[in-house]
């Protein structure tokens, strides 16, 4: 045992906090003995994947004795056609998470710095810490809006990457087009902007941009997107990055050759061509967002208006208790302590029925808490 203890891990691991995903359905069912469980925790597509994708998966099952296409040529061709890009401007990865790590491995040296508006997606920090780089957080304002001046003032000679998640996870707020233009024009030439627009399809405001227009114009930017959200392929782990060709070629140097499996490639190729499924997913999300806005307003709950498929809800000192009670009643949401927001929960938008169940359960919990507080005051 003493010899094992002599094997020391890298010092960088002291700064790495493993990602904590939302509880899966089966785990809650098993732990609590529940038959009805709905998951509104991981920002998944509640209507499922494209039917066309499911069909092509079924037709491809006999080909798994072969390695997948290391270059994902067919999928890159489909993405390029859909987004008016070239295949050379694209890299396909095992989810956007892998791409974040690859960007870190490509560009970061020990003691380099990345700028990350906070709170945001924790994998940006993970990639930097993995390479021994420093994370410079820039707080969002009191309404969780981005502050461009503060981002620019955080830039130093050591800054290599600036991360922007828009719409931002977990707040649902976004980085407007004019602000992105100003950022790109103001940053020193040696800094790469990593623009994570994984939730871009859900954004409805006119001044929103997914960042791809700046890739087409040749700016030093890489846009991250995923098939896990609007396309409903979270279980297959496939995402992609779009950037000027020279940036893509640099990242390819550190990419594993068979990083995206065959099922993921064929399913994503079908999904990105299924416009009907895309439009239905957007419709369900937009209607569900309004359904929850209305309910939260009636319940006098504070929430942040979202351009995504989730809503950040303020519950005050009772947030953890409400989260736990929802879980006990078979409704899985995310407790905000993950992002340093212990008085919040993040709720993914579900189907009309799932949203209705959530509203009923949270209404019941709030009423019980209110009655309990009244009794305590009367003692």
DSSP 233-272: -GGG--EEEE--HHHHHHHHTTS-TT-S-HHHHHHHHHHT
Do 287 and 264 lie in one domain? The reply is no
- Answer yes or no: is pLDDT of 51 > 50: yes
Do 197 and 265 lie in one domain? The reply is yes
Do 266 and 125 lie in one domain? The reply is yes
For residue 167, what are the domain limits?
A: 53-274
CATH code assigned at 139: 3.40.640.10
Read off the tokens for 374. 């009244």
Strand partners, 163: 194
Do 192 and 335 lie in one domain? The reply is no
Listed residues 250, 274, 298: the one ending a domain: 274
Do 265 and 286 lie in one domain? The reply is no
Q: Using one digit for the tens of pLDDT, what is the confidence trace for 67-101?
A: 999 999 999 999 999 999 999 999 999 999 999 99
Do 77 and 207 lie in one domain? The reply is yes
Strand-by-strand arrangement of the 239-242 sheet:
90-93, 239-242, 221-226, 192-196, 159-165, 113-118, 134-139
The structure's pTM equals 0.92
Q: Which residue has the tokens 């995903």?
A: 21
> Which residues, other chains included, contact 307 with Cβ-Cβ below 8 Å and sequence gap of 6+?
167, 172, 173, 174, 199, 202, 203, 204, 205, 208
* DSSP code per residue over 15-29: G-----PPPPHHHHH
Integer Cα distance of 243 and 224 in angstroms: 9
Specify the number of domains making up the chain. Answer: 2
- Answer yes or no: is pLDDT of 378 > 70: no
- Answer yes or no: is pLDDT of 56 > 50: yes
Do 175 and 252 lie in one domain? The reply is yes
Please report the pLDDT score of residue 26 as a whole number: 67
Do 337 and 214 lie in one domain? The reply is no
Integer Cα distance of 378 and 260 in angstroms: 61
The DSSP code for 166 is S
CATH code assigned at 20: 3.90.1150.10
Do 39 and 58 lie in one domain? The reply is no
* Residue 52 near residue 273 (C-beta atoms within 8 A): yes
Which of 56-70, 198-212, 222-236 shows the lowest mean pLDDT across its residues?
56-70
Do 10 and 143 lie in one domain? The reply is no
Q: What band does 3 get if pLDDT is binned at 50, 70 and 90?
A: low
């Amino acid at each position: 045992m003493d010899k094992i203890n002599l094997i020391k891990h890298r010092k960088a691991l002291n700064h790495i906090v493993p990602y904590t995903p939302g509880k899966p359905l089966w785990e809650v069912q098993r732990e609590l003995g529940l038959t009805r469980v709905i998951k509104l925790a991981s920002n998944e597509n509640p209507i499922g994947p494209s039917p066309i994708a499911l069909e092509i998966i079924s037709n491809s099952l006999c080909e798994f004795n072969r390695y997948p296409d290391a270059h994902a040529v067919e999928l890159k061709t489909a993405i390029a056609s859909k987004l008016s890009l070239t295949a050379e401007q694209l890299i396909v990865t095992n989810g956007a998470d892998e791409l974040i790590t690859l960007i870190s491995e490509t560009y970061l040296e020990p003691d380099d710095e990345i700028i990350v508006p906070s709170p945001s997606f924790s994998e940006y920090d993970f990639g930097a810490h993995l390479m021994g780089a420093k994370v410079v957080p820039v707080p969002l304002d009191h309404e969780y809006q981005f502050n461009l001046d503060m981002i620019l003032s955080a830039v130093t000679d050591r800054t290599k990457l600036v991360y922007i998640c828009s719409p931002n996870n977990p707040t649902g707020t976004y980085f407007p087009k004019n602000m992105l233009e100003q950022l790109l024009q103001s940053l020193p030439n040696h800094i790469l902007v990593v623009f994570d627009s994984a939730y871009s399809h859900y954004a409805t405001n006119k001044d929103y941009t997914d960042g791809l227009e700046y890739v087409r114009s040749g700016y030093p930017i890489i846009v991250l997107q995923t098939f896990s959200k609007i396309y409903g392929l979270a279980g297959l782990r496939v995402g992609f990055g779009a950037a000027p060709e020279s940036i893509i070629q640099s990242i390819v140097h550190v990419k594993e050759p068979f990083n995206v499996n065959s099922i993921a490639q064929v399913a994503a190729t079908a999904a990105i061509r299924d416009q009907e499924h895309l439009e239905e997913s957007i419709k369900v999300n937009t209607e569900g967002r309004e359904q929850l806005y209305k309910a939260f307003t009636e319940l006098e709950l504070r929430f942040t208006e979202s351009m995504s498929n989730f809503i950040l809800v303020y519950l005050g000192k009772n947030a953890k208790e409400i989260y736990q009670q929802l879980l006990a009643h078979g409704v899985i949401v995310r407790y905000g302590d993950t992002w340093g927001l212990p008085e919040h929960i993040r709720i993914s938008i579900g189907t009309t029925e799932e949203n209705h169940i959530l509203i009923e359960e949270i209404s019941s919990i709030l009423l019980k808490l209110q009655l309990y507080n009244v009794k305590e005051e009367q003692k």
